[in-house]
Structure 1
Amino acid sequence: MQDEPTPIELTKAVADFLRSEIAPGLSGHQAFKLRVAVNILDLVTRQLALEQGSDGAEAARLAQLLDLNGSLFELNRALADRIADGKVDLTTPGLPEHLWQTTLDKLAIDQPNYASYKRERGRRNE
């Protein structure tokens, strides 16, 4: 384990610096390219902060759903194989909930500002 600052703090600091110190002086294509870079840093920051927890929860749901142990990759492969073989479908207890939660966890990292994501997250928090 490294001392502080953490990777999350570092990526956030770089994104904040670019957004507040560099972006105001740019326009046109250079400003666009900077916005792309800042968005990438923001995504990496969210991924560092959220992925371990969401991956762990996904693996736990899959292990229970499939009655298997394995890595997240292996469990997802087993789920895909069972779906392809017709052994699992949307009538399988727990599968729709698992797929929906996995989708929400991925959106929390990739697109947390999507209106539909925010609306669904609000419903689940009520």
Structure 2
Amino acid sequence: MQDRPTIDELLEAVAGYLRDDVMPNTQGRLSFHARVSMNVIEMLRRELATMEEHLAREWDGLDHLLGVEPMPPKLAAVRDALVRRNEVLCERIRKGEADEGPWRLAVLSHLRRVTLDKLEVSNPALAAEYRETGQG
């Protein structure tokens, strides 16, 4: 693990180079690909900055819906377990368990929260718009 520059500082430097040096001095396809690359790097920065909080919030939501399960200590195991737990949630939804009643409301609330977290990474302006209009 490096102390300086941090991962975020490195990504910020590359995004800044693309935004400030490449995009204004190119056109057409090259400028477009520089913009796409810059957006990907900015998305990575947002994901890295929020990953721990978002994964914990999704895990907690699934604990409330499916029952408490200890969260694994390693990131890869957490991701694998979230896939498995979400498959269980999907199966229960397919069986009709979320068609009505309080569990339905809990599922919808959880899905809105998780979707908004994902939107904060991929499109923070749209996530803010949803929050402002009370849709999130």
Alignment of 1:39-58 (within 5 A): 39-58=39-58
Q: CA RMSD in A?
A: 1.8
- Note the 1:62-73 alignment, pairs <5 A: 62-69=62-69, 71-73=81-83
2:16 alignment partner AA: D
* 2:18–2:38 contact (8 Å) kept in structure 1: yes
| Alignment partners' CA distance in 2, 1:25 and 1:40 | 20
Q: CA deviation at 1:75?
A: 1.5
Extract unaligned runs of 5+ from structure 2.
72-80
With normalisation by structure 1, the TM-score equals 0.85
- Alignment of 1:10 with 2:10, yes or no, is yes
Residue 60 of structure 1 corresponds to: 60
| Conserved 8 A contact 2:59-2:82 | yes
Name the amino acid aligned to 2:110.
Answer: H
5+ residue gaps, structure 1, are none
Q: Write out per-residue CA displacement over residues 38-96 of structure 1, whole angstroms, 9 at most, x where no aligned residue.
A: 11111111111112211111111111111142622222111011112222346414111
Percent of aligned pairs sharing the same letter? 34
Aligned pair count reads 122
Matched letter for residue 3 of structure 1? D
* Among candidates 112, 122, 133, match of residue 110 of structure 1: 122
TM-superposed CA distance for 1:2, in Å, is 2.9
